[in-house]
Amino acid sequence: MSSETDAWRSAHRRVCDLVLQATPAELERRVPATPGWTARELVSHVVGLGADVLAGDEPDDHHAGWTQAQVDARRDRSGAELVAEWRDLADDLVAWMGEHGTRPLNDVLIHEQDLRGGLRRAGARDAPGVDVVRRRMAGRLAAALGERPPLALVGPTWSWASRGSVDGAATVLEADDFDLLRALCSRRTAEQLRGWTTRGDVTPYLPAFAGLGELPARPLPE
Asked if 220 contacts 110 with a C-beta cutoff of 8 angstroms, the reply is no
Note whether residue 222 is domain-resident: no
Note whether residue 151 is domain-resident: yes
The pTM score is 0.95
Report pLDDT digits (tens) over 146-169: 999 999 999 999 999 999 999 999
Note whether residue 102 is domain-resident: yes
Percentage helix, strand, coil, to 5, in the chain?
60, 10, 30
Which conformational region is residue 118 in: left (phi greater than 0), alpha (psi within -120 to 50 degrees), or beta? alpha
Same domain, 52 and 148: no
Note whether residue 184 is domain-resident: yes
Same domain, 30 and 109: yes
Q: Number of folded domains in the chain?
A: 2
| % of the chain at pLDDT higher than 70 | 100
Amino acid at 170: A
Same domain, 137 and 106: no
pLDDT score of 58: 86
Same domain, 23 and 100: yes
- Mean per-residue pLDDT of the chain: 96
Farthest-apart Cα atoms in the chain, separation: 53
- Count the alpha carbons within 13 Å of 136 in the hemisphere toward its beta carbon: 16
pLDDT band at 27 (very low <50, low <70, confident <90, very high): very high
The whole domain housing 161 covers: 130-209
Same domain, 10 and 111: yes
pLDDT band at 141 (very low <50, low <70, confident <90, very high): very high
Report pLDDT digits (tens) over 61-85: 788 899 999 999 999 999 999 999 9
- Average pLDDT of span 197-209: 98
pLDDT score of 60: 80
Residue 9: pLDDT over 60: yes
Q: When comparing pLDDT for 117 and 57, which is higher?
A: 117
Same domain, 191 and 111: no
pLDDT score of 59: 85
Domain endpoint, select from 59, 88, 119: 119
Domain endpoint, select from 98, 119, 140: 119
Asked if 119 contacts 22 with a C-beta cutoff of 8 angstroms, the reply is yes
Same domain, 163 and 138: yes
Same domain, 31 and 115: yes
Same domain, 149 and 103: no
Same domain, 75 and 19: yes
Same domain, 7 and 115: yes
Domain endpoint, select from 119, 139, 167: 119
